Amino acid sequence: MTYRDSLAVVILAAGQGTRMKSVHPKAMHKLAGRPLIGWLLETVKDLSPEQIIVVIGPDMDDLAQEVAPHRTVIQHKRLGTGDAVRTVLSELKDFTGDVLILLGDMPLITLGTLEKLIETRHAHEKIGLAVLGAEYDDPPAFGRLIQNIDGTLKRIVEFKDATDEEREISLCNTGAFCVRGDKLASWVSKIDTNNAQKEYYITDLPVIAAGDGFKTAVCVTQNESEVMGVNSREDLSAMEMMVQDELRAFAMENGATLQDPTSVYFSFDTELGQDVTVEPHVFFAPGVSVADNVMIHAFSHLEGVRVEQGAQIGPYARLRAGSSVGENAIIGNFIEVNRSHVHAGAKAKHLGYLGDAVIGEKSNIGAGTVIANYDGFDKNETVLGKGVFIGSNATLIAPLTIGDGAIVAGGSSITDNIPAQALGLAREKQMTREGWAAEFRKRKAKK
């Protein structure tokens, strides 16, 4: 970028999301596993601002925690965007750089567009602020940008205040501004409520700046999707579909095979290596990293897990947070892995629960095996050494250690440690009565 001024970013995020029928702040609703505000913060940090200040509403402790360590200020009465900016002025006292004002429910704005908006503010010394606009073939109910003959901005008219002729204008306000920090306080103090909503609008700034001898420049984005806002569940769903399409395309462009892309759902941070194959109906929650040559079968759910090269997952597997699956390991159908580490070459192919466990290299977990990790008070650990064989329908009751090469007989409930190369057997001795079944049926038939 060509500008050299310092930068502060103000994000307006006090919206309650009333139309979303939610008790959560609008900016806390998630998009591909990350709150809307998180997307915006991730982008603006690359501008290296001196400070980021987020305007929140009362009782939005979860939002304040999400944006930490950045500062928050509370807008106690929601009297419009101008009022929201007014709440941060004390935090910007003596700041003379650029102030970038953004909306917390517009998460997809790109770094390149923000850089261009800031550069537009610096195009001439008499430009006091720059406004980001977007061209629409079918303009929505946004404010309209009314330009002067020279292309500078004369004024912004809110949709509810616009005439029919003004509503025909295709250039709309997106809500993103870059303002001279040394003028912001004096200009905001002059905003009034002379509008249909009787609120304080930062869209009044171009007229106020003109009265002070400064022009307003317009920076136009051609990408409507990056300035989409979220005001309803429908908006959030539409944005989710758009982001998912981008994430799917990125995965395939980087060497993953998605057999039915529209049925696979990614999180913002999902990492897939080359030659990963993902069958239909797989869900990646946040924190998943998959190495090369992994097969993920249909209807599997992965969250907070690292899967190493050559592993096989599913179908119908659930890998929960805090787990890892080693090279060439197999986690088969209806296996749940929770806070457990399955080392290279280990196998758990059918119907089991592995909780708070370490499964050693090349160990085999038989069908129906359950690791009983919870005693009603504490989660306890089970450690299996290398080459351990667990027979079908075994219950391993933690805390427990099973040594290298040990065998647990099928149907056993194991409560004591088993040393290396030993057999663990814990079940009732079988009793067989010859001819009993035939006699039983005869008795039943006579009744």
pLDDT tens figures, 99-146: 999 999 999 999 999 999 999 999 998 999 999 999 988 888 889 999
How confident is the model at residue 193, as a pLDDT? 82
Q: Per this entry, what is the length of the chain?
A: 447
387 pLDDT tier (thresholds 50, 70, 90): very high
- In 207-329, where do the E strands start and end? 215-221, 257-258, 271-272, 277-278, 283-284, 289-290, 295-296, 301-302, 305-307, 312-313, 318-319, 323-325
CATH topology of domain 233-424: UDP N-Acetylglucosamine Acyltransferase; domain 1 (2.160.10)
pTM of the model: 0.91
How confident is the model at residue 371, as a pLDDT? 97
Yes or no: say if 390 and 369 are a contact pair by the CB < 8 Å rule.
yes
Our CA dihedral for 123, 125, 130, 136, rounded to 10 degrees, sits at -40
Query: Over pLDDT 90: what percentage of the chain?
Result: 85
Mean pLDDT of 218-229: 92
- Name the amino acid, one letter, at 331: I
- The span from the CA of 164 to the CA of 408, in Å, is 80
> Domain-by-domain residue ranges, the chain?
7-227, 233-424
How confident is the model at residue 158, as a pLDDT? 87
2 pLDDT tier (thresholds 50, 70, 90): very low
350 is an active site residue: yes
How confident is the model at residue 197, as a pLDDT? 78
Our CA dihedral for 59, 65, 66, 67, rounded to 10 degrees, sits at 100
Yes or no: say if 173 and 183 are a contact pair by the CB < 8 Å rule.
no
Mean pLDDT of 414-433: 93
Mean pLDDT of 64-74: 96
Our CA dihedral for 133, 117, 31, 284, rounded to 10 degrees, sits at 130
Flag whether pLDDT at 221 surpasses 70. yes
How confident is the model at residue 418, as a pLDDT? 97
Flag whether pLDDT at 75 surpasses 70. yes
Active-site position among 122, 124, 281, 350: 350
How confident is the model at residue 132, as a pLDDT? 97
Phi and psi torsions of 272, nearest 5°? -120, 135
Superfamily of domain 7-227: Spore Coat Polysaccharide Biosynthesis Protein SpsA; Chain A (3.90.550.10)
- Which is it for the CA torsion 24, 28, 30, 31, positive or negative? positive
- For the range 323-327, what are the long-range contacts, defined as Cβ-Cβ under 8 Å and sequence gap of 24 or more? 326/361, 327/291
How confident is the model at residue 161, as a pLDDT? 87
How confident is the model at residue 248, as a pLDDT? 98
Flag whether pLDDT at 1 surpasses 80. no
Span of 2-6, 21-25, 324-328 with lowest mean pLDDT: 2-6
Q: What is the pLDDT of residues 165-196, one digit of tens each?
A: 989 999 999 999 999 999 999 999 999 887 77
Q: What is the pLDDT of residues 316-351, one digit of tens each?
A: 999 999 999 999 999 999 999 999 999 999 999 999
Q: Which residue(s) pair with 331 in the sheet?
A: 313, 348
Average pLDDT, the chain: 94
